[in-house]
Chains A and B, each alone.
Chain A
Amino acid sequence: MSAMAGAEQAERADTREALGRWARRNTWTLGLIGLLASFILITKLIQPSYSAEAFQGLAIGALPLAMAAVAQAIVVISGGIDLSVGSMMALTSVTSAALMKGQPEAFGVVVVLGVLLLGIALGTTNGTLVVITKVPDIVVTLAMSFVWAGAALLVLNTPGGGSAEWLKGLVSGSILSDWIPRALVTMVVIVGVIWIPLRRSTTGLALYAVGSDRLAAFRSGVSVGRTKILAYALTGLFSAFGGLALTATTGIGSPVPGAYTLLGVAAIVLGGVSLAGGRGGVAGPIVAVFVLALVRTDLTLLGVNSNLSTVVQGTILIGVVMFGSLLTMRRVRR
């Protein structure tokens, strides 16, 4: 009886702890959503005529970076980092664009599935190399970024190719209300369908466990190597989604990697993912991408030199991280 009561109590304590952890983990995301809302409000105040179409454009523009941020978030949560995300996006984008050009619509489905598999293969290669060679993640993925970017140049030497109409349709326009861009819905569906079941599974738990303490995870029976490879494979998959997003939003593929790797790292840090691993989620980074995009829009609307808005973005990045570490330091001191 008492054992049962004890178990019940422990369970209740667990629930409370879990709730507390949930709240703590999500204060950052909730704060970001508040920040996003205030930026939307500011945008509306600066430019009362800011239209639903402009918001749709914002969502379309933010889509590739949002995918890059999700990709980076997963590998960083598992304790690694992938500096080849931008190159993998370029490679998957040119592959899809080169294969889809002038082909029937239905063939596009095959291409999209193939490219997603390609993304998984690229990520698995990265992960396997990291695990087998024991060279630090940052070095392996840095070197692999050369490899994937070179491969992208082999596929298409100059920007070109094409995109199936249905793929473009997935990201343009809106659903139900003018203020719900289709790009946003597509992204939420893709990320939700893959990430939420994963997060709740043992595998998801293993990702966080390996990220927060490899040794403890190993001693609890988690296969560290396999989990790391899986994390990289998922990063490759979301990089492929990012590459497809590039193809869909621009209609072509470009072999030169954008700044998605480093901007993605910036977005996940803003989004509350700890670079030390084990902390954060994918919702925060996505919101952070939209905050960054809105800041840029607002500055443009205010007539600020676009170069200065780069300065502002960098300053926000550093400022937010400094603020975060100040909070941590105070917590430690107390």
Chain B
Amino acid sequence: MSGAAGIAPTGGRSLPSGGLRRLLRDRPLIPLTALLVLLIVLLALVQPKVLTADWVGATIRAAIPLAILAACQTLAMLTGGIDLSIGTVASMAAFIMATQTPTLGPVVAILLAVAAAIVAGIVNGIGVGVFKVHPLIMTLGLGLVILGLMNVYQIVVITNGTQVPDAIIWLGSGTTLPFLPNNLLVFVPLALLVIGGLRFSGYGRLLFAVGDNAIASRLAGVRVWKVLLGLYVLSAVLAAIAGMLVAGLVQTASLALVEQSVLPAVAAAVIGGTSIMGGRGGYSGTIIGALILTVLTSLLIALQMPEAVRQMLFGAMIVAVAAVYTRIVDGS
């Protein structure tokens, strides 16, 4: 977030007075963490017995695939785009891995899955970067194409059977330490890489620059299409990793495995303070956003809300949080 402040000029807009507002504006992680704590406190009030170390572990384990998918969305949104193909790409990667493991072994299967995701990312990147197709349309269209192809593929490999590699199951659903889930082993390096990359690497800066003003970036000598190509490949690879972790968590793979997480991933990034208009945001907020959504889900389950009410509250809270957040950060 503070990285973005250096690039995104806010000139012309009068800053709100008041130290508190400025603090919230410059350090949006603080209100987000406060909201997370508030939700946990609410959960503790509703169900005092639920707050155990195991619950913490389970929550983190459930939040991590969502947080990785939200990373795809955060990166895409920083450039002013959106990647709606991540659900399909993630499911595809998990499905290819599970169907190829019985015949080719886990290592080749995982490599194949990642390779397929990279191809999908390249197609997205070429469409958005070179042909300037609107990202919403490009990723949506490619999602349709992949889904159709995977349905055909499913019929071809139906005799293979599916098997999720043991290592992936261990990573996706196991816990080694007293309560910490193993998928932290994947997530922590990934998260550090994304946060650090966005803040300190030239490429991270380019993502902000392209999202803030693509024309200015081009005039400054940035090859915008290369930045976008790299972004969508990265996004697809992250999606593939998330998909395989989900497969490890539920220990099976299907073509609709990750589809229902696409919109929550967008929501997590938005709640985390990344602007869908591009150029502003960061990954640390997104991680908290993913945690907030996960805790919110357990809170609603603890309140024994029917699925319908849970969905409605979920939607209403996204609007509310986004509205409050917009007001605080933009300080208008």
Q: Which residues of A contact B (CB under 8 A)?
A: 81, 129, 132-136, 138-140, 142-147, 149-154, 157, 262, 265-266, 269, 275, 305, 307-315, 317-318, 321-322, 325-326, 329
Contacts and interface: CB of A to CB of B under 8 A. Distances in A.
A81 B144 CA distance: 20
16 contacts: A133-B326, A135-B319, A136-B277, A142-B263, A142-B318, A143-B315, A145-B315, A146-B318, A154-B308, A265-B136, A265-B137, A266-B137, A307-B148, A314-B141, A318-B141, A318-B142
Interface of B: 82, 84, 127, 131-134, 136-138, 140-145, 147-149, 151-152, 155, 263, 266-267, 270, 275-277, 306-316, 318-319, 322-323, 326-327, 330, 332
A321 B277 CA distance: 21
A135 B140 contact: no
Nearest to B310: A150
Dominant secondary structure of chain B at its interface with chain A: helix
B279 to A, nearest CB: 13
B148 A310 contact: yes
Given A134-B332, A138-B276, A308-B152, A150 B309 contact: yes
Nearest to B307: A153
A139 B318 contact: yes
Given A154-B306, A266-B140, A307-B148, 17 more contacts: A142-B318, A146-B314, A146-B315, A265-B140, A266-B137, A305-B152, A309-B148, A312-B148, A314-B141, A314-B148, A318-B133, A318-B142, A318-B145, A321-B131, A321-B134, A322-B127, A329-B132
A133 B319 contact: yes
A127 B143 CA distance: 28
9 closest Cβ pairs, A-B complex: A146-B315, A314-B144, A310-B148, A150-B311, A150-B312, A153-B308, A307-B151, A311-B148, A133-B323
B323 A135 contact: yes
A308 B140 CA distance: 16
Nearest to B309: A150
Dominant secondary structure of chain A at its interface with chain B: helix
A233 to B, nearest CB: 18
A142 B142 CA distance: 20
B40 to A, nearest CB: 22
A55 B190 CA distance: 53
A313 B147 CA distance: 11
A157 B309 CA distance: 12
A139 to B, nearest CB: 5
Nearest to B314: A146
A48 to B, nearest CB: 28
A140 B263 CA distance: 12
Nearest to A157: B308
Contacts of B84: 262
Contacts of B140: 262, 265-266, 317
Given A134-B332, A147-B311, A310 B147 contact: yes
Contacts of A313: 144, 148
Contacts of B142: 314, 318
Contacts of B307: 150, 153
B276 A139 contact: yes
Given A307-B152, A322-B131, A143 B144 contact: no
B148 A143 contact: no
Contacts of A262: 84, 140
B141 A143 contact: no
Contacts of B276: 136, 138-139
A149 B311 contact: yes
Contacts of A142: 263, 266-267, 318
A321 B143 CA distance: 15
Contact of B143 (A269, A308, A314): A314
B127 A318 contact: yes
B145 A135 contact: no
A262 B137 CA distance: 9
Contacts of B313: 150
A326 B126 CA distance: 13
Contacts of B326: 133-135
Contact of A135 (B131, B143, B151, B322): B322
Contact of A317 (B82, B141, B147, B327): B141
Contacts of A134: 323, 326-327, 330, 332
B73 to A, nearest CB: 11
